[in-house]
């Protein structure tokens, strides 16, 4: 039997090869479709369209499976740390101690951010949303790191990657500290990568920085869980912008902007705001469930549903368990957690959600932990971006090393047919 897919149209028959992935996913390769048939496909939101072949992350939405370079998210969250996972995603293998030490030392060596960048940060009002500040600062970094723009060799890509992994956490901490009116900090190269991030964000002036293993471990695990997720909206944006060879920092700046949306990474902030509204409303979860099901009401149950997962998001399961552990270890009593659990329980027994296979996603419980760690709600999506940074980098690097063509989709035109120009005095 031919391994091709056949298309019959207007009395003609066309065949297209079928690709099979590592986990036996099948894809019809339509590279020759327009030249062979004169037709294109159309698929708003790309729900059925693959943009690339990738060796980085595997998701199975039906079974709730997530693997980075073949390793399960459950194992990595338990046994690895975030910098190891970043190395794995970007370079394809778990590093040995020597490779990890070199990677970390190279990052430490590049953690300086030009003082002039502070003038750009100072230009923002305190009311500016941190995601808007960060997408701007990431793009502004280009001006101070021109050698990281037109990178074509693997060596130049490596140093551009090291620079952004070093500098982005500084920008994140500066954005938070500016909002809080705290002096900007450079952190401490004697600390671990995530520990240093936490210190840069939270060290208070005139106070000794107190290491808290529970907090650092929770942060490390959350960053791992957010590190990559194949061709989601923001990653596809990074690949699209990168495909024009606009450079790594510009591609990442675009990815941060895409992640900001409440349907994507912005959902973790929207979930907390929704849970707080329910709490303020006397915990009336039924009312919000009904709003979510009402087609006339634009309200959605934030943190629920997913384009790929039609089962539990494996990350949500890990984060829900971690929320209990972290709040317990920190002695934090947060009624919001119980409201979230009540909402989940109701939704999982509600026909509307069950029929549409709407389960809690990565954003449903993450904000509860961030809040317990002292991270302000407006910074939740920034923490998502901090976690997703290595994934965006890995996907950008894969796309560039494979010399993928510039992304340029086609369209079906539904506007006016040709018509004559009408002079202004005749309209
Ligand atoms: C992330 O893609 C990724 O991998 C993303 C991400 C990553 O790691 O990069 O996993 C991170 O973005 C997670 C998703 C965070 N977003 C939210 O929690 C926002 C709330 N969720 C939705 O808006 C929605 O579920 C999406 C955007 C996540 C997915 O939307 P789809 O796949 O386009 O599905 P859809 O909008 O077509 O919904 C299908 C049906 C519709 O009802 P019907 O028209 O069939 O009657 O389900 C309904 C929707 O109205 N629906 C919801 C709902 N989500 C979907 N109804 C109420 N509440 C919801 N949350």
Query: What is the per-residue DSSP string for 215-273?
Result: HHHHHHHHHHHTS--SS-HHHHHHHHHHTTT--HHHHHHHHHHHHTSTTTTTHHHHHHH
| Ligand 1 pocket residue status of 232, Cβ below 6 Å | yes
In a mutational test of the pocket of ligand 1, which residue from 57, 306, 344, 353 has the highest number of ligand atoms less than 8 Å from its CB?
306
**341 C-alpha to ligand 1 centroid (Å):** 19
**CA torsion angle for 295, 301, 306, 307 (degrees, to 10)?**
30
Sheet holding 57-60, edge to edge: 57-60, 65-68, 71-72
Paired tokens of 264: 């994507």
pLDDT value for 1: 61
Cα–Cα distance, 89 to 228 (Å, whole number)? 8
Contact 228, 89 (CB under 8 A): yes
Contact 184, 178 (CB under 8 A): yes
Beta bridge pairs of residue 13: 8
**127 C-alpha to ligand 1 centroid (Å):** 29
306 noted as active-site residue: yes
Ligand 1 atom nearest to 313, measured from its CA: 10
Paired tokens of 44: 């708003």
Q: What is the pTM of this model?
A: 0.96
Residue 350 backbone phi and psi in degrees, to 5: -110, 130
| Ligand 1 pocket residue status of 347, Cβ below 6 Å | no
| Ligand 1 pocket residue status of 219, Cβ below 6 Å | no
Query: What distance lies between CA 368 and its chain's CA centroid?
Result: 18
Q: Which residues contact 290 (CB under 8 A, 6 or more apart)?
A: none
| Ligand 1 pocket residue status of 315, Cβ below 6 Å | no
Annotate 25-58 with DSSP letters as a single string: -EEE--TTHHHHHS-----GGGTT------SSEE
**150 C-alpha to ligand 1 centroid (Å):** 36
Residue 323's closest CA among 359, 368, 271, 363? 368
**270 C-alpha to ligand 1 centroid (Å):** 13
Query: What distance lies between CA 217 and its chain's CA centroid?
Result: 20
| Ligand 1 pocket residue status of 267, Cβ below 6 Å | yes
The span from the first CA to the last CA of the chain, in angstroms, equals 63
Residue nearest to atom 5 of ligand 1 (CA): 232
Residue 229's closest CA among 83, 389, 348, 366? 389
- Alpha helices (runs of H) in 296-403, residue ranges in sequence order: 314-330, 335-347, 351-355, 362-372, 380-401
305: alpha, beta or left? (left if phi > 0; alpha if psi -120 to 50): left
| Ligand 1 pocket residue status of 363, Cβ below 6 Å | yes
Rg (the chain; Cα; Å): 23
Set 104, 229, 306, 350: catalytic member: 306
Count of CB atoms within 10 A of residue 273's CB? 14
29 noted as active-site residue: no
DSSP state of 160: H
Note down pLDDT in tens along the chain; length 427 residues: 668 999 999 999 999 999 999 999 999 999 999 999 999 999 999 999 999 999 999 999 999 999 999 999 999 999 999 999 999 999 999 999 999 999 999 999 999 999 999 999 999 999 999 999 999 999 999 999 988 888 889 999 999 999 999 999 999 999 999 999 999 988 899 999 999 999 999 999 999 998 899 999 999 999 999 999 999 999 999 999 999 999 999 999 999 999 999 999 999 999 999 999 999 999 989 899 999 999 999 999 999 999 999 988 999 999 999 999 999 999 999 999 999 999 999 999 999 999 999 999 999 999 999 999 999 999 999 999 999 999 999 999 999 999 999 999 999 999 999 999 999 999 9
Paired tokens of 200: 């840069």
Cα–Cα distance, 147 to 168 (Å, whole number)? 17
| Ligand 1 pocket residue status of 389, Cβ below 6 Å | no
Residue with token string 């539904």: 414
Q: Are strands 57-60 and 4-9 parallel, antiparallel or unpaired?
A: unpaired
Cα–Cα distance, 70 to 87 (Å, whole number)? 14
Residue 26 backbone phi and psi in degrees, to 5: -110, 140
């Amino acid at each position: 039997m031919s391994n091709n897919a056949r298309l019959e149209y207007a009395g003609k028959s066309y065949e297209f090869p079928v690709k099979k992935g590592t986990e036996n996913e099948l894809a019809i390769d339509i590279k020759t479709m327009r030249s062979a048939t004169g037709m294109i496909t159309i698929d708003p939101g790309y729900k059925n369209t693959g943009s690339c072949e990738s060796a980085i992350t595997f998701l199975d939405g039906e079974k709730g499976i997530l693997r980075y370079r073949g390793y399960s998210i459950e194992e990595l969250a338990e046994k690895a740390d975030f910098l190891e996972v970043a190395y794995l995603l970007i370079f394809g293998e778990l590093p040995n101690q020597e490779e990890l030490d070199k990677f970390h030392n190279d990052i430490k060596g590049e953690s300086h951010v030009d003082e002039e960048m502070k003038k750009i940060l100072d230009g923002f009002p305190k009311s500016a949303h941190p995601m808007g500040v960060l997408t701007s600062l990431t793009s502004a970094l280009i001006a101070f790191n021109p050698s990281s723009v037109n990178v074509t060799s693997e060596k130049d890509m490596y140093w551009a990657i090291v620079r952004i992994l070093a500098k982005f956490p500084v920008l994140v901490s500066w954005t938070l500290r500016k909002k809080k009116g705290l002096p900007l900090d450079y952190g401490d190269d004697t600390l671990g990568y995530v520990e240093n991030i936490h210190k840069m964000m939270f060290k208070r002036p005139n106070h000794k920085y107190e290491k808290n293993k529970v907090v650092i471990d929770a942060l490390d695990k959350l960053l791992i869980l957010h590190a990559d997720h194949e061709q989601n909206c923001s990653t596809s944006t990074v690949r699209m912008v990168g495909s024009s060879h606009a450079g790594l920092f510009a591609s990442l700046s675009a990815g941060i902007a895409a992640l900001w949306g409440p349907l994507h990474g912005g959902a973790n902030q929207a979930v907390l705001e929704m849970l707080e509204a329910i709490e303020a409303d006397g915990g009336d979860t039924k009312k919000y469930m009904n709003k979510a099901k009402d087609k006339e009401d634009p309200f959605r149950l934030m943190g629920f549903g997913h384009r790929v997962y039609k089962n539990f998001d494996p990350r949500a399961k890990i984060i829900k368990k971690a929320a209990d552990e972290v709040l317990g270890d920190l002695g934090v009593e947060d009624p919001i957690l119980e409201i979230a659990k009540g909402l989940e329980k109701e939704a999982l027994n509600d026909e509307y959600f069950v029929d549409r296979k709407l389960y809690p996603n990565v954003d449903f419980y993450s904000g509860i932990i961030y809040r317990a760690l002292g991270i302000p709600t407006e910074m939740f999506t920034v923490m998502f971006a901090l976690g997703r940074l290595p994934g965006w980098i890995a996907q950008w690097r894969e796309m560039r090393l494979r010399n993928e063509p510039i992304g340029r989709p086609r369209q079906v035109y539904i506007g006016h047919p040709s018509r004559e120009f009408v002079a202004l005095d005749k309209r």
